[in-house]
Structure 1
Amino acid sequence: MEKSLFDRYGGFSTVSKIVLDLYDRLLDDDDVGPFFDEIDMARIVDHQTKFVSSLMGGPASYTDDQIRKMHAHLAIDPEHFERLEEILRATLSDHGVAPEDIEAITGAFAARRPLVVEKER
């Protein structure tokens, strides 16, 4: 049986490093950083570690309804989503994730776009 990306890249230990770096980058970004101004960062990093793990085939998961509810109060435009995806790609690459695996992870991420982008809801 083939290992999941989650297992191949080292599980929660590696994913948590990627997510911490991702949020450092997101917070510094002028376009998406303001979304996190009033957010409990420890809580969101925990949630995002589980979410990215799920994108990589790990044990955590969120339902579409949970994802929709978590983002319903935010005015996320297509441009914000695209910027976040761009930063995610760069972060994964900088952590040694292979290009084909980046495509798989960002493809799973993009599949959830209609759940979070306001203009597409």
Structure 2
Amino acid sequence: MERSLFDKYGGFSTISKVVLELYNRLLDDDDVGPFFDDVDMPRLMDHQTKFVSSLMGGPASFTDDHIERAHRHMDIHDLHFDRLKEIVAGVLEDFEVAPEDIETIVGAFEARRAILIEKPNVN
């Protein structure tokens, strides 16, 4: 049986470090940083750790509906999503994740692009 990427890279312990670094970079980014103004960062990082873990085959799970609801009020465009993917890939590379595994993880983000960008107008 093949190990999940979650297990291969050390489980929640490693993923939490990856997510911490991810948000350090996202918050410093001019394009995506403003999305995190007035956000409960500890709560968000906990959710994101579970989300990334689920993308890597870990025990946590997030539905696409949950993701859509959490981002419904945000004006996210392709530029923002592309920047997120670049930053995710850079962080994973710095954590010595294999290129093919980075491609898999970033591909899982990409699979959710429409959920974040093409959402109904809700005010």
Q: TM-score, normalised by structure 1?
A: 0.97
Q: Distance in 2 between matches of 1:115 and 1:31?
A: 19
Q: Distance in 1 between matches of 2:103 and 2:91?
A: 13
1:12 aligned partner, one-letter code: F
Matched with 2:103 is: 103
Matched, 1:46 2:10: no
Q: Distance in 2 between matches of 1:64 and 1:84?
A: 18
Matched with 1:79 is: 79
Matched, 1:26 2:26: yes
Matched with 2:56 is: 56
Cα shift readout 1:52-92 (whole Å, capped 9, x = no counterpart): 00110111111111110000000000100000000000000
Q: Distance in 2 between matches of 1:114 and 1:51?
A: 17
Q: Distance in 2 between matches of 1:26 and 1:64?
A: 22
- The sequence identity of aligned pairs, in percent, is 67
Matched, 1:69 2:32: no
SS at match of 1:17: helix
Structure 2 gaps, min length 5: none
Matched with 1:13 is: 13
RMSD: 0.6
Q: How many residues align?
A: 119
Q: Distance in 2 between matches of 1:23 and 1:40?
A: 12
Cα shift readout 1:7-31 (whole Å, capped 9, x = no counterpart): 0000000000000000000000000
Q: Distance in 1 between matches of 2:64 and 2:51?
A: 12
Which segments of structure 1 move beyond 3 Å, counting only runs of 4 or more?
none
Q: TM-score, normalised by structure 2?
A: 0.95
